[in-house]
Structure 1
Amino acid sequence: MNEDLKYRNELKFMINHHQHFIIRQRLKGLMKQDKHVGAGGEYHIRSLYFDDIHNTALHEKLGGIRDRAKYRIRIYNRSDGVIHFEKKIKFKDYIAKVKEPLTREMYDALLAGDISVLQEGRKPLLLEIHDLMKNSLLAPKVIVDYVREPFVNEHGNVRITFDKELRTGLHATDIFDPELAPVSAIDQNLIILEVKYDEYMPAAIQTAIQLEGLNRQSASKYVICRKYLKSNSWEDY
């Protein structure tokens, strides 16, 4: 465990629209909406996930390995105003995230196969990714696309999100492709509920997310979308 990172608790649940309505109604009096949401209380997230030649991130998740990492490029609301290359680290039941900004020019160069742009500025994360691309053939694998409805509370630094309309870009790897038409990767009646917090979660919020029949699940959007590709004969792994 890297002591320099800020680790947080993360819980995931797969819920239906009825459960979403009940939990959201309860949370409205306890939490605020994230400052980045639009008029509808949501924003759009699109990520390009990477894996190495052995599909290590995929197989470690499927194999239940508790300590692992995965890499992705993420944008918001289909805009290139903010582009981040992120490393999400899982340690037992905790998560941490490290990220570095990319310019649109750096992104375009990467997609064209020029990994040398990651050496600019000598940023540790980007240098790490450069080495993985060079030595382990880390490469784009799948686009993950969804709409997020987020709630936050400063006490315990609690963040609760409802991730809806999970879609995948099939064999595409350019998150800015204007012709990209993502398709549903799961039943559209399902929503992924994610709960993140630091050392503790206020009791009222704990109570608000408790529903009969609600069970914690391992709902990895990356794995769901990779499995969708395989089941539709788009790839082998």
Structure 2
Amino acid sequence: MIVVNRREIKYSISDADYYRYLNLFNEILKSDPHSKNGGYTIRSLYFDTFTDDDYYSKMNGEEVRKKIRLRLYDVNTKRVKLELKRKINVNQVKETVWISSDDARSLINCQYDVLLKYKEKTAQTIYNIMTLGQYRPVVLIDYDRRAFYHEENNIRLTLDSNIRSSETNFDIFSENIPMVPAFTTYHAILEVKFNGDLFCWIAEVLRGRDTINQSLSKYCVSRSLFDQYLA
């Protein structure tokens, strides 16, 4: 089980700022050691209740909210991250437990009992939440990430682009899922994650650019079909 406590700030950025930041971060920060050829692709499958409580919690601007998702970096993997992400304003706690790909498929089919075989507290907590709320998969999201870090204060900056989603196909292990762009008004999302305080020189780098500190959510934006036609 992995538990991460940290602050998180997100910015929407233009195409020009994406490449400006990419070049700058390559010069002043270390690249994520997990990156292959400079970056990697992330796939997340989000779950919500039958009454979409987590979606409305976010859209209504509630300070305390949560999300449950499966996450992988390779469709051929045998292990998948199951994550419970809680947020209180800009502060977040992310709990992670690794489960097998077979158990991930069971969760997609709403077979929550597979989590009872795991001894980690996080698995038990997610089992209780999913069972009580009757969670089911609602949206699959892919995006390309360039990640950088500074060891002090565990500072991590990521550039997420080519964000696309599907609200009809939830087979996270498929390589051929038709997807649609999640965002049309800007190019990418810059995320700044850190413990404690953010260094002044990094804050200065972020200041004055074509950015707006927003409460952005790939999950909520990607539920465009639900938002436009089903809500």
Say whether the fold is shared (TM-score over 0.5): yes
* Residue equivalent to 2:27: 29
> Which residues in structure 2 correspond to 1:193-212 (within 5 Å)?
193-212=190-209
1:56 partner amino acid: D
Q: Secondary structure at the residue paired with 1:216?
A: strand
2:218 matched to 1:230?
no
1:53 Cα offset (Å): 1.8
Which is further off, 20-29 or 133-142? 20-29
CA RMSD of aligned residues (A): 1.8
Q: Conserved in 2, the CA contact under 8 Å of 1:155 and 1:201? A: no
1:26 partner amino acid: L
Which is further off, 77-86 or 28-37? 77-86
* Residue equivalent to 1:151: 148
Q: Conserved in 2, the CA contact under 8 Å of 1:26 and 1:208? A: no
1:104 Cα offset (Å): 1.2
Q: Conserved in 1, the CA contact under 8 Å of 2:17 and 2:209? A: no
Q: Conserved in 1, the CA contact under 8 Å of 2:110 and 2:136? A: no
Q: Distance in 1 between matches of 2:69 and 2:220?
A: 13
1:7 Cα offset (Å): 2.4
Specify which of 160, 165, 171 is matched with residue 163 of structure 1. 160
Residues 88-145 of structure 1 show CA distances to partners (whole Å, capped at 9, x for unaligned) of 1101221110010011121122233432111003322222222233221111111111
Q: Distance in 2 between matches of 1:6 and 1:170?
A: 28
> Which residues in structure 2 correspond to 1:92-111 (within 5 Å)?
92-111=89-108
1:21 Cα offset (Å): 1.8
Q: Conserved in 1, the CA contact under 8 Å of 2:49 and 2:134? A: yes
Quickly say closer, same or farther: Cα 1:232–1:80, change in 2 above 3 A. Answer: farther
Q: Distance in 2 between matches of 1:155 and 1:134?
A: 39
1:205 partner amino acid: I
2:3 matched to 1:16?
no
Q: Conserved in 1, the CA contact under 8 Å of 2:75 and 2:174? A: no
2:13 partner amino acid: I
Q: Secondary structure at the residue paired with 1:122?
A: coil
* Residue equivalent to 1:77: 74
Structure 2 stretches of 5 or more lacking a match? Answer: none
Structure 1 stretches of 5 or more lacking a match? Answer: none
2:132 matched to 1:135?
yes
Quickly say closer, same or farther: Cα 1:53–1:25, change in 2 above 3 A. Answer: same
Q: Distance in 1 between matches of 2:36 and 2:120?
A: 32
1:186 Cα offset (Å): 1.1
Q: Distance in 1 between matches of 2:114 and 2:91?
A: 31
Q: Secondary structure at the residue paired with 1:181?
A: coil
1:68 partner amino acid: R
Quickly say closer, same or farther: Cα 1:177–1:148, change in 2 above 3 A. Answer: same
Quickly say closer, same or farther: Cα 1:20–1:209, change in 2 above 3 A. Answer: same
Which is further off, 184-193 or 81-90? 184-193
Q: Conserved in 1, the CA contact under 8 Å of 2:42 and 2:72? A: yes
Q: Distance in 1 between matches of 2:199 and 2:131?
A: 45
Q: Distance in 2 between matches of 1:64 and 1:188?
A: 21
